[in-house]
């Protein structure tokens, strides 16, 4: 069987563009976005794609063309959205440590809302808006203290995390915000974690936010929107993941007759399974009983296995090369943590092409130049067309800025 992305064989893409190579299916991006708009149709939500999952300009442009908004966590990500043709008016600015310069840029660009996470951040935003003669639309990120039941590094909705405002401090924070002259309090938000495989924590968080909304409205503070964050998981291995229709039904039931518009901030579930990382086998090596498949992609291209012990499915694209054996699939980087898979059954020979699945989210966007490795090229496939959306970096590019600063004395 020939493994492909849409109508193009992985083998030919690797031939044409080299490896390591990120390959994304445009149809899969569209389908993932439509899955949300269709499931939630009755609530007509604003879907704000979380740019940090994959910020490639062509991917942002594709989502913008579908009508998608954006969730950003830095001024750099806002610049990406604007460069891609996204609308600031559909962009939510999240993040726990926004600088004054980032706030000013976002205010002047006209973002839809600032998701604020602390009292000092409210004060800073008020001061920056006042200086610019603008009013800042704000939502408060509430930490609903529910256990998202995911990996601790991507769990964000517990009291022990740095994120959000604790439930018991929320009313006081809203009163504080309402009293600041250059803020316009419009919403409430949460984001309890990533790669959630259960629906219960998501609906529990929604329920807790709604209780707070009711308390606030009884006190005369009426909010326009509720933003439930991102976090629906995807299938990497054999996880069961929340059904979007069930999620939508739960939210609709909880919202009841309240006049609130809905915002969602999915990242991983819009891009994760649209992407594959292609990598070539350099060597097969045996150390005593242990086997290693050494490939040309590494933790700098896909950090998730090293960072979270994450599982990625890996297939041999080349015609089956003998019997499978158990090996660690590792990159060339000088770190023991540099692996794409451990104790994996795989048939592979030097020269074979491997497809690392589910590499659309938190892969290219987390890539680095560690070991002075140029970042891999990215290709977006649309039917039988392959569009290069990021050329492979060159070593000259990596050295240029420092070479220009070399001093002779
Ligand atoms: C990372 C993040 C998201 C996206 O999370 P996914 O799990 O990729 O859907 C959404 N909102 C905020 C505030 C985030 O930090």
Map residue 183 onto helix, strand or coil.
Answer: strand
| Residues placed in the known binding site for pyridoxal 5'-phosphate | 231, 265-268, 362
| Residues placed in the known binding site for substrate | 268, 304, 308, 335, 362
Token output for 62: 């594709």
Count the helix, strand and coil residues of the chain and give each as a percent rounded to the nearest 5: 35, 25, 40
Contact indicator for 228, 263 with CB cutoff of 8 Å: yes
Catalytic positions, written as ranges:
334
In whole angstroms, how far apart are CA 79 and each of 50, 83, 309? 14, 6, 32
Domains of the chain (ranges; CATH) run 26-268 (3.20.20.10), 273-400 (2.40.37.10)
- In the reported structure, the alpha carbon of residue 281 is separated from the centroid of ligand 1 by a whole-number distance in angstroms of 33
- In the reported structure, the alpha carbon of residue 221 is separated from the centroid of ligand 1 by a whole-number distance in angstroms of 27
For ligand 1, mutation pick of 51, 117, 154, 191 (most atoms within 8 Å of CB): 191
- Closest approach atom of ligand 1 to CA 52: 1
Cα separation, 200 vs 190, whole angstroms:
15
pLDDT of the chain along its 409 residues, tens only? 789 999 999 999 999 999 999 999 999 999 999 999 999 999 999 999 999 999 999 999 999 999 999 999 999 999 999 999 999 999 999 999 999 999 999 999 999 999 999 999 999 999 999 999 999 999 999 999 898 777 777 677 677 777 899 999 999 999 999 999 999 999 999 999 999 999 999 999 999 999 999 999 999 999 999 999 998 999 999 999 999 999 999 999 999 999 999 999 999 999 999 999 999 999 999 999 999 999 999 999 999 999 999 999 999 999 876 899 999 999 999 998 999 999 999 999 999 999 999 999 999 999 999 999 999 999 999 999 999 999 999 999 999 999 999 998 8
Token output for 82: 């604007």
CA pseudo-torsion sign 214, 215, 221, 225: negative
Using CB distances shorter than 6 Å, the residues near ligand 1 are 50, 52-53, 71, 94, 191, 194, 229-231, 265-269
Cα separation, 246 vs 366, whole angstroms:
31
Question: Beta strand pairing status for 377-382 and 385-390?
Answer: antiparallel
- Closest approach atom of ligand 1 to CA 361: 8
Cα separation, 148 vs 70, whole angstroms:
23
């Amino acid at each position: 069987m020939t493994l492909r992305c849409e109508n193009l064989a992985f083998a030919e893409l690797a031939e044409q563009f080299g490896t390591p190579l990120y390959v994304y299916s445009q149809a899969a991006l569209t389908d993932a976005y439509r899955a949300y708009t269709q499931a939630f149709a009755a609530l007509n939500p604003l879907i704000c794609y979380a740019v940090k999952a994959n910020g490639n300009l062509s991917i942002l442009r594709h989502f913008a063309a579908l009508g998608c908004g954006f969730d950003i966590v830095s001024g750099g990500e806002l610049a990406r959205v604007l460069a891609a043709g996204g609308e600031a008016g559909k962009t939510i600015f999240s993040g726990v440590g926004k600088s004054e310069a980032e706030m000013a840029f976002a205010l002047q660009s006209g973002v839809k809302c600032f998701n604020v996470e602390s009292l000092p951040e409210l004060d800073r935003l008020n001061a920056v808006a006042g200086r610019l003669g603008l009013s800042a639309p704000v939502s408060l990120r509430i930490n609903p203290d529910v256990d998202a039941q995911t990996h601790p590094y991507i769990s964000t909705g517990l009291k022990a995390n740095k994120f959000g405002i604790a439930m018991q401090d929320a009313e006081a924070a809203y009163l504080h915000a309402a009293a600041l002259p250059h803020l316009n309090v419009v919403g409430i938000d949460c984001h309890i974690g990533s790669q959630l495989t259960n629906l219960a924590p998501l609906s529990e968080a929604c329920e807790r936010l709604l209780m707070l909304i009711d308390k606030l409205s009884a006190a005369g503070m009426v909010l326009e929107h509720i933003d439930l964050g991102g976090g629906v998981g995807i299938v990497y291995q054999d996880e069961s993941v929340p059904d979007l229709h069930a999620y939508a039904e739960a939210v609709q039931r909880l919202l009841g007759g309240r006049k609130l518009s809905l915002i969602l901030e999915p990242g991983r579930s819009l891009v994760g399974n649209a992407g594959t990382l292609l990598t070539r086998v350099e060597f097969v090596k045996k150390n005593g009983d242990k086997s290693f498949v050494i490939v040309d992609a590494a933790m700098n291209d896909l950090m998730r296995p090293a960072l979270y012990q994450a599982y990625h499915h890996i297939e041999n694209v080349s015609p089956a090369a003998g019997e499978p054996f158990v090996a660690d699939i590792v990159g060339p980087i000088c770190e023991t943590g540099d692996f794409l898979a451990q104790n994996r059954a795989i048939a592979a020979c030097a020269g074979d092409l491997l497809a690392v699945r589910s590499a659309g989210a938190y892969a290219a966007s987390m890539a680095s130049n560690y070991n002075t490795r140029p970042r891999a090229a990215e290709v977006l496939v649309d039917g039988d067309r392959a569009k290069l959306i990021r050329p492979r970096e060159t070593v000259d590019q990596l050295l240029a800025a420092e070479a220009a600063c070399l001093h002779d004395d």
